[in-house]
Amino acid sequence: MSNVTMKVNGKPVSGEVEGRTLLSSFLREGLEMTGTHIGCDTSQCGACVVHVNGQAVKSCTMFALEAEGAEVTTIEGMANPDGSLSVLQQAFQDHHGLQCGFCTPGMVMSAAALLQDNPKPTEAEVRDYLEGNLCRCTGYHNIVKAIMAASGQDVAVAAE
């Protein structure tokens, strides 16, 4: 077992982990932050996406020890400081961009990274960027719509 220290959502945290412990497991089991979800074991589904030093990362593809000293942001850290939903989260609710909610943390984290890099993505760019995030409920329609809306683009014509 080794000690690992990092900042998660701005707070310093540390814990004892095995070398093989994945960042996703450390967040869920070690820190009891269960907002980050695990939907597969081949790094395909994207439910576990978090930000590590500002980059969107599937947290099942990293060992916890690799995040030593990193700044990690999870879904629990995405709301506004007063606890209200951020623009992106609010867009997901307004446009019914989630149903069962299981893929949602990864979707929001991926979408946030996309909008950081590309504040006005086209529909095709949104769909392309979400290739690493599976959703089985929404058929992606309202997820794409929500992300476009969060970027300030009106998609009413395209989507209806």
Interface residues toward another protein, by CB under 8 A: 18, 20, 28, 32-42, 44-45, 47, 74-76, 78-79, 85, 89, 92-94, 96, 98-105, 108, 123-124, 126-128, 130-131, 133-145, 158-160
Rg (CA), the chain: 16
Compute the distance between CA of residue 130 and CA of residue 44 in angstroms, rounded to an integer: 11
Nearer to another protein, 6 or 24 (CB): 24
Q: How far is the CB of 130 from another protein (least distance, A)?
A: 4
**Strand ranges of the sheet holding 71-73, from the earlier edge strand across to the other edge:** 11-17, 2-8, 71-73, 49-52, 55-58
Whether 137 and 98 have beta carbons less than 8 Å apart is answered as yes
Instruction: Report which residue type is found at 125.
Output: E
What are the angstrom distances between the C-alpha of 42 and each of 19, 62, 114? 19, 12, 22
User: Shortest Cβ distance from residue 160 to another protein (Å)?
Assistant: 7
Q: Are residues 104 and 110 in contact, defined by beta-carbon separation less than 8 angstroms? A: no
Instruction: State which residue, 69 or 153, has the beta carbon closest to another protein.
Output: 153
72 or 144: whose CB is closer to another protein? 144
**Rounded to the nearest 5 degrees, what angle is found at the Cα of 77, between the Cα atoms of 55 and 70?**
45
By beta-carbon proximity to another protein, the closer residue of 69 and 84 is: 84
How does strand 2-8 pair with strand 71-73?
Answer: parallel
CB 136, min distance to another protein, A? 5
In angstroms, give the least distance from the CB of 20 to another protein.
8
Q: What's the min distance (Å) between Cβ of 4 and another protein?
A: 16
Residue number, 51 or 145, with CB nearest to another protein: 145
